[in-house]
Every structure is written in C-alpha cells, then in structure tokens.
Structure 1
Amino acid sequence: MRIVEIRETTHSIASPIANAYVDFSAMTLSLIAVVTDEVRDGRRVVGYGFNSNGRYGQGGLIRERFAPRVLEADPDSLVNDAGTNLDPHHVWAAMMRNEKPGGHGERSVAVGAIDMAVWDAVAKIAGKPLFRLLAERHGGTADPRVFVYAAGGYYYPGKDLGALRGEMRSYVDRGYTVVKMKIGADIAEDARRIEAVLRELGSDARLAVDANGRLDLEQAIAYARLLREYPLFWFEEAGDPLDYALQAALAEIYPGPMATGENLFSHQDARNLLRHGGMRPDRDWLQFDCALSYGLVEYLRTLDVVRAAGWSPRRCIPHGGHQLSLAIAAGLGLGGNESYPDLFQPFGGFPDGTRVEDGHVVLPELPGIGFEGKADLIRVMRDLAE
C-alpha cells in the first residue's frame, strides 16, 4: 500500500465581495489529489483536499516541500501497524520533517490541504464515512445531524439595505436559523445594517456579526458598547487574532457571546487564546479551522488543548464551510459548522440533495469525506486526478 502521486492545482474562487479587511477579487485555493495504489469498486482510491477560503492557494509550498517529503518517504513508514491503511499521523510527520517550531501561517495551510486529502483516502480505503471512522477511533458515538449557520452579509459594490435584507431572508427560507453578516468598515453604517437585518429576521433566526480582525482596541470597545444592545448570536473576531489582550478586554465589557480562532493555526496558538484571551467557556465559541491549521492531525491536538482548558468540544464551530469540518463535527461532537450557501463554489456546501432543516443538516453515508456526493465538486476533483 502506497501513495503513488500527490497532485496540486490552483483554483480561483474570486468574487467581488469584501469584508472589513480584505476583498476576494483575487482569492484562490489549492486543490489536492492524493493518488494511492488501492482499488475499491473498480476505481483507484484517490483522496481529495483543499484549503479554506481566505488564505490563497499554496502550490509552491506543496510542490516544493511537503508533497516531495511524503513521496520520498519509505512507503512502509506511512501505513498503520497492521499494514491495512495509510496512517495520517505518519504522513503528517513525514510532511513536517525538518520544519522548525513556530512560524505557522502559510505553511499550516499547505499541510492542511494535503492532510484533508489523506483522511479522505483513509476513510475510502476503510469503506466508511469519515465521521463514522473518527467516532470509532476516538470512542464516541457519531451523530450525522449537525448544526450549520449561513455566512454572508459581505460588503458588495452597490449593495443597499434592501439587498442585504433579501440575502438574509433567503438563508432563512432555505432552513437556516442563524445567519452571519460582516461589520467593521464604519460603525454608524453598520448600526443601520444590523438594525435592518434584525427587523427582517424578527423571531425567525438569530444574527451573528463578524469584524474579521479589523478593529483596534478603541474601535473594538466602541463596537462592543453598540453591539451589546442587540440580541446577537455572537460578536466575532473584533481585533487581530493574536491580540489576546484586546479579546480579554472585550470580555470585561461585552456580556454576550463572542467567537474567534479562525486565524489561529496551531494547538499552541489555541492554548494561548484560552490562557490569555479572556474567553468564557459558558458562552463563547471557538472557530479553529483544520484546513488552515495543519489539518485534522493537528486539530486533534487542538481538541486536547480545548478539553484541558475546561472547554467542551461542543463550543467549537469551525470556520470554512467545508465538508471535512462537517465530518469532524459529526464524528467528534463539535457544536456545528459554518456554511456558505452562495459563495466559494463548488468547494463549499453539502452533498447534492442535502437539505437544511431547522438549522441542521444530516450527513449522507458516503465513504470518505463525501465529496463524491457533490456533482460539481467531484467533477473538478476527478479532472485533476484522472
């Protein structure tokens, strides 16, 4: 059993949308195919992966450093003790050979994309949905019903309050009970936008807001004083993700739930947030995204850190809107997952026919992560592999 090839291609997921910090007019991602010599149902087993939106494709790092290390490793060193499957932890160790500690950022994104593809291959070789494989390996009970919320509400040229309200209503009409919009560009305008959306939603859904790390301490405090007057689901990523003092200061004046973590890329960063960021395990949310932070192998370490700090994995709702986090949520008991109903296609979303009902989806019983159940996505993936 061996990995025969690791292929990468860069795909555009560009859009004219923007948050308070960046626009997505040149956004890309790396698509990965991990080709094995195993055959199931007459087809060679290929694992697929990609990185989440917001950090661009990592083709150079993948092709020059991380994929070659895996392909150069002794194939026997990459399989489990029984020799029946690849071992993602062994593959991860091969990728990270000769890498110094720290310096996460782009490196963590490249490794995370390959790691996703490895886990997809492992579950396919086992002939099981990844969420059930994870539950079996970690002593839990899989629950294929997962909470999801709709992320949108981006700044967009010419987008007025009517268009924003219509967008949010469309998510409610599709079954979502929590929706999210961007803030942080201008506090007065954001107050008008929030109030318009709250009027539109009424009692049909809850609203979360996301500043994407745009605010300094003075601005963040001003927003916190404004936002605490609204019944928000959460206030997300007010300031720089590594400014734990800012996050802790907000906890002193903002009584409602806060969320952060999508731009922290290691279990060490997660531990520092929980030590120094003033996060409250009874109400706040953690958004670490395995596809940006060295993959599921590292995410398992992050969950160990979460538990050691006295938090429940149910307080984790990952960023990214991809099917790997859905599988982790269903297999390891997370609190849910982000969803992009209209953006970053075909990489976001759910397998075809999956319905959002009362803010939840039910994962189908597909081997691997489930990419084969999404026709527009698997078509792109197989173009790379075959």
Structure 2
Amino acid sequence: MTIQRIQVTDARFPFGEGMGSDAIHRTPVYSYAVTTLANGDAAGTGLAFTLGDGNDLVCRAVEHLSRQLVGRDIEEIMHDFGALQRSLANDEKYRWLGPHKGVVHLALASITNACWDLWAKRRGVPLWRLLLDLSPEELVATLDLSYLDDALTRDEAIEIVRSQQHSRTERESVLDRGYPGYDTSVGWFGYDDEKLRDNCRRSLDCGFRALKLKVGSAEMDRDLRRVEIVREAAGWDVRFMVDANQQWSLPRALEFGRRTGDYNLYWIEEPTHPDDVFAHQTLARELGAHKIAAGEHVPNRVVFKNYLQAGSLGFCQVDALRVAGVSEFIVVSMLAKKYGVPVAPHVGDMGQLHQHLVLFNHIALGHDALFLEYIPHLQQHFRHPCRVEQGVYRTPQESGASCDLISLS
C-alpha cells in the first residue's frame, strides 16, 4: 500500500458556552491538525489536538515534515519506523523550533498517528489488535529510544513486552468487559454550581464511577466549594479527581492539597507548571506521590523520563496527540511500567485513539486497567465514534485507529 498523496486539514469545532473550559482556557475551540495519507484503496488519518488559533501552524509543519513519505509503502515505513521518526524529529530546518516539543512535535504526532492508522487498515485490523500481534522485536522497531539509554535500552524495552507474554491471556478479558471510563464533562470551569450538581447526577446515572472537576479559581474558596458540591453529589464511593490546568504556583498547590485533605481526592492533576519537575517532586513528597497526575503538557519521552526518575508522578497522563504519536506514547508507557507508575492518558476528546492504546497497555505491558478519560463533545464528527455504555468503553472492532472524521470522508 503505497502513499500516493498527503492531505493536511485544519479542522475546528466551536463549542457552546462553558463547554471545555478550564482555569487557563475559557473559550476553547477543539481543533485537529489532520494528516491524511492517501492510497487508491484506503487512507490513514492522523490527528494532533489544539484549541484553535495556532492549529494552522501545526498544519504547516505537517506539510513540511511529511513530504518524504510520498511514494513509500506503509509496510516498509513501519518496518523501522523508530528510525524514520527520529529522522523527522531531527529535521535540521525545523528542529530549532523544538526540539521535540511545540508545533513541530504536534505535527509529528499527526503524521505518526496517520502511519499507524494506515498500517492497521492495510492489515485489516483495529489498532489495538495490530499492536498486540506484533512481536516484541517488531514493536520496539517502531520506537525512537534515543536519549533514554540511562533509563530504557532497546533490550530492556523488548524484555518488558516479553516478560508479560506468559500472562497476557489473563488480561484479555478486558476485550469483552470493556475498559472503564471517567467523566470529565461534569465539571468544566465555566459551569455554575447547579449545573455541576445536575451533571454529577447525570454522570452517575450513566454508570460512571469516577468524576473529574476543573479547579484553579482566583479565589480558592470557589474551588473548595465546588469540591464539596461534587463530593456530596457523588458520594464517597466514587473516585473523584481535580484538575488545575497548571494554574497554581507551588505554594498555592500545596495549600490546596492540604485544605482538601478530608475529601479523599484520587488525584490532583496539573497542579503547577509542567516544566517544573522539582515542584511536582515536592508536591509528591508533601501530599503523597499517589496524588499527583500530569502529562497533558509534558511534551516528550525525555521529560517524562525526568519526571519518573525524580518520583514526581503518581499517575502518568501521556497523550498520544501531544507527544510524537502512538510510538512515543508506547515508549512513555514502557518507562512508566519500569518505574511502577500507572498510566491514565489525557484524552482531550480523543478517546477515539486512546481506547486502543489502553487495551495494549493493559494486555501487552501489564499496566492496570485503571480508567480512561471520557469527553463526548466531538462524538458526532467521527465515522466510528467510541462506544461508552454504563461508564465503560466498548472494544472497537473496525480496522484502523477510529480517527476518521465524517467531514473529511
């Protein structure tokens, strides 16, 4: 299956009032930089996620970085994709804009995800099945492990997969029962207190047993009041997380953590600036490592390595639309497995792709089947929207990565 043409699309989806809002982003426009790798018989679709303005810059970077894929067969590309991804990431004209972060890395995510989608369609299987069918050596050949020699070598990566093979069948039941979800859409920052209560009741009625609330107000009393509302509405047997979206300084985050000690928060997400590994280390030490979740804005495997080496993460929220796509997601998942940290991906309304990756994480790498974020606002735009029933993601059966957009088909 030869790539004959590459199409890049700037797709944007405005929201209603309050939807998608957090302490930093008050009027988000959920957007995808879409890479389409076209063949006469099929097309691979890859997405990177942004919040509107600037999406066009990611598209321009995709156009530049993807040129060398034209005329190449997808099987040949994926045979040694790790080397190709390293080459694209180190493009000498674009590397100065990163390296390995920002606009150019988002572009690489879109390209990489399109390659994986096309490969799965070429083999006629869902992405999760393709990943599970690869041998440890074939899988690791798709990964760029550069700059990780001190934490994860090629041989170690192969052994992580191989060591789990004898017990894989014990975990394959997740394919039948589905993967648990948690509901973020109950507690957007712009929602008033009554809507918050109503959303909690609705979410519980839909079968969710874990909820998340956006915090990070200028006045902490507002955050504390909203925490109390959700805990009272949801009850004490529901897992309850909060997300500050990087709004706080370290002292402010510590204050919040101490003042919410009686509410049994499952985690505090993005409590401060994502580049401040040591601040997260302090929070993990002072509040309990299991309380700290981050990864939505951690741009690459090297920074994740630093987080994990420093003991700064209780939950790893790697996002395959933020790092360099499926391949770098898998690298970070392997690092997290080595350091004993569970993976609960950030979704940003892309459960479409991550529903495949969490199945791989659980079955092939032995990660716990914790739960996957659920944000339903763009479901109607996908050809094969993920199915969530009674709070559980049902296993996708269509070939590919479930990322085809109706408006582009």
Q: TM-score normalised to the size of structure 2?
A: 0.78
Alpha-carbon spacing, 1:178–1:11, altered in 2? closer, same or farther (3 Å) = same
- Structure 1 gaps of 5+ residues are 38-43, 373-377
Q: Aligned match of 2:205 in 173, 176, 191?
A: 173
Asked if 2 retains the 8 angstrom alpha-carbon contact of 1:105 and 1:265, the reply is yes
Structure 2 distance, partners of 1:103, 1:126, is 30
Partner of 1:311: 340
How far apart in 1 are the matches of 2:67 and 2:231?
53
Identify the residue that residue 147 of structure 2 maps to in structure 1: none
Return the alpha-carbon distance in structure 1 between the equivalents of residues 254 and 26 of structure 2.
Answer: 25
- Where structure 2 has 5 or more consecutive residues not aligned to the other structure, the ranges are 137-160
Q: How does 1:221-370 map to 2 (within 5 A)?
A: 221-255=254-288, 257-276=291-310, 278-279=312-313, 284-308=314-338, 310-311=339-340, 315-320=342-347, 321-322=349-350, 323-333=352-362, 334=367, 335-341=370-376, 343-346=377-380, 351=385, 354-357=387-390, 359-370=391-402
Higher helix share: 2
CA distance in 2, matches of 1:12, 1:66: 16
Identity percentage over the alignment? Answer: 23
Partner in structure 2 of residue 375 of structure 1: none
Secondary structure at the counterpart of residue 108 of structure 1 = helix
Between the aligned partners of 2:133 and 2:54, the Cα distance in structure 1 is 33
1:79 to 1:8, Cα distance in 2 relative to 1, 3 A: closer
Local SS of the residue matching 1:181? strand
Work out the CA distance in 1 between the residues paired with 2:100 and 2:86: 17
| 2:117 aligned with 1:125 | no
CA distance in 2 between partners of 1:355 and 1:103 (Å): 34
**Relative to structure 1, is the Cα distance of residues 90 and 128 closer, same or farther in structure 2, using a 3 angstrom cutoff?**
farther
Verify the 8 A CA contact 1:246 1:277 in the aligned structure 2: no
**Number of aligned residue pairs:** 355
What are the superposed Cα offsets for residues 284-327 of structure 1, whole Å, 9 maximum, x if unpaired? 2110101111111222222232234x225xx1011124221110
The reply on whether 1:59 has 2:56 as its aligned counterpart is yes
TM-score, normalised to structure 1's length?
0.83
Describe the shift of the 1:346–1:246 C-alpha distance in structure 2 as closer, same or farther (beyond 3 A): farther
Q: Which amino acid in the other structure matches residue 170 of structure 1? A: R
Query: Does the CA contact (< 8 Å) of 1:5 and 1:71 recur in 2?
Result: no
Query: Contact (CA 8 Å) 2:11, 2:34: kept in 1 or not?
Result: yes
- Aligned 1:150-169 pairs, distance under 5 A: 150-152=183-185, 153-156=187-190, 159-169=191-201
Kindly indicate whether the alpha-carbon contact (under 8 Å) linking 1:248 and 1:278 is maintained by their aligned counterparts in 2: yes
d(CA) in 2 for partners of 1:330, 1:80: 23
Seen in structure 2, the aligned counterparts of structure 1 residues 90 and 7 have a Cα distance that, compared at 3 Å, is farther
Cα RMSD of the aligned pairs, angstroms, is 2.7
Cα separation, 2, equivalents of 1:252 and 1:71: 46
* 1:244-271 deviation per Cα after TM superposition (whole angstroms, max 9, x unaligned): 2211221232135221111111100101
- From 21, 35, 38, the counterpart of 2:38: 35
* Structure 1 residue 30: Cα displacement: 1.7
1:381 aligns with 2:400: no
Asked if 1:95 is matched to 2:88, the reply is yes
CA distance in 2, matches of 1:263, 1:56: 17
Do the aligned partners of 2:298 and 2:304 also contact (CA within 8 Å) in 1? yes
- Contact kept in structure 1, 2:5 and 2:37, CA below 8 Å: yes
Hey, what does 2:146 align to over in structure 1?
A: none
